Amino acid sequence: MPQRSENIEKICILGGGTAGWMTAAALSHKLKGLPIRIELVESDEIGTVGVGEATLPLIRNFNEALNIDEATFMRETEATFKLGIEFCNWGRSGDRYIHPFGDYGRPIDGLPFYQAWLRLRQLGDTSRLDEYAYSIIAAEHARFQRPSADHTAIDGGFGYAYQFDSSRYAQFLRRYAEARGVIRTEGKVAETQCDSESGFVRSLTLGNGKTAAADLFIDCSGFRGVLIEQALKTGYDDWSHWLPCNRAIAVPCESRGVFAPLTRATAREAGWQWRIPLQHRVGNGHVYCSSFISDDEATTQLLENLESPALAAPRQLFFTTGRRRKFWNRNVVAIGLSAGFLEPLESTSIHLIQEGITELLQLFPDKSFSTLDADEYNARMGLAFERVRDFLLLHYVANQREQGDLWLHFQNLKLPDSLDEKIKAWMTRGHIIAYQFGTFLPPSWLAVFLGQNLVPRGYDPRVRKIDDDQLRTEARRLRDAVQAAVERTPEHADFIRQVGAGSGSAPIMAGMI
């Protein structure tokens, strides 16, 4: 008799949408050449959430790893470039700041520039820290270009992401995955068959009578968690006591042709409103807590703050912030909304999908499904979710708003120890605790700390070794260099056309990827 293979021979992905087709595309590319069949089961009757349109810079790594041409991808998804996220009214009403995908200034005498800026501030300097960040000033002027190849140049040390139509991205990746052998099966799950001894999922029976069997199942079924929760009863850690917003209203509106390379988040009475400019429309939404505002009031507030006529009826979404207690349970790995959900304040939803795929590839199992691999995966993804949670929570607790029960709630909230420690280290002398693993680097934390008026009592004492006049001279030189670089930068919309990424700039050819 032939010896039974211990290698994974069949993968079944349950659910399409962004999570499912990102997973299918990545696995079909990275596992190419191995005798592994990949099947994706989804139903046209089941809608996808499909509102996650803003991303973080690491999405470029995902596309590049799949050899996807940037201009083709942008044309297919009506994408715009993104240099950061603009926050309005988060510290106090009327405040505004940008979280950039890049650092501020350049190190002086081996110290981060912001430490020198804190010293200059005490000396009476009134410049904004933003004036030393190329990506912020470029975004404020609606300009964009790719980073200079010289990373030491003032316009070379920043990152960028995209704002795109997520439903078109899923369709784009579906074509990519199917061209690489992924089989799509239409149908809804009627029953899940699990092994009576191991508890492993063995097969899915669909409502149309078809059966999907596999060695490894990847649950991309959204909030329902058909496999990870309904079948395996994994459990869910509810984080509503830290992140109580539990609903959203989403609606697109007409584009007026201003492709600002920014996502905007504007604080409202009981939550916040997003604005995401694409080439063909603007995505809008209102994230809120139903304990502090009714659905009708939230919808009215969103519609009254649109910049142009709505293109569709508002769509209601319900969610509970938190994470699955295990992301990998037995032979099921949850990716996307089935793994957990943290509100879209910092565009992390698609990024956490990407993290889940990357970690799965690094710890890809065989049929023995080592508990060591599963434990490591769960530890890594747990850290990813928790550190994103802390970063999102910082935006809420660092508010000085005088009205709104939601905001007053956060001013009296007991914080997770991990975030409390980080805030205390910052307020003492401007020290940012850096993580070895984490989505957001120190410049991101710096943007929110200072943007929301958390100014530390002191600064790194080594700054005092630098002559005050030298500090002023270097700061002025940096400001001038940023301004000059921005003046040389093309308008964002012009750059999209120049590189052939505009939806009308060239024929769309799926075969180019």
Quick check: 482 and 134 in contact, CB under 8 A?
A: yes
Identify whether 465 is a catalytic site residue: no
What is the edge-to-edge ordering of all strands in the sheet holding 340-341?
236-238, 322-324, 340-341
The four Cα atoms 71, 72, 78, 84 give a dihedral, to 10 degrees, of: -40
Q: What does the angle CA 297 – CA 300 – CA 302 come to, to the nearest 5 degrees?
A: 110
Cα–Cα distance, 103 to 466 (Å, whole number):
21
Cβ atoms of 164 and 74 within 8 Å: the answer is yes
d(CA 496, CA 282) in angstroms, rounded, equals: 16
Rounded CA separation 339/325 (Å): 9
Q: Would you state the structure tokens that stand for residue 245, as one six-digit string?
A: 């917003």
Edge-to-edge strands, sheet with 216-219: 183-186, 37-42, 10-14, 216-219, 332-334, 328-329
| From 10, 30, 32, 82, active-site residue | 82
The CB-based long-range contact list for 62-65 (8 Å cut-off, 24+ gap) reads: 62/22, 62/26, 62/354, 62/357, 65/26, 65/29, 65/30
List of residues 6+ apart from 499 with CB closer than 8 A: 70, 71
Active site residues: 82
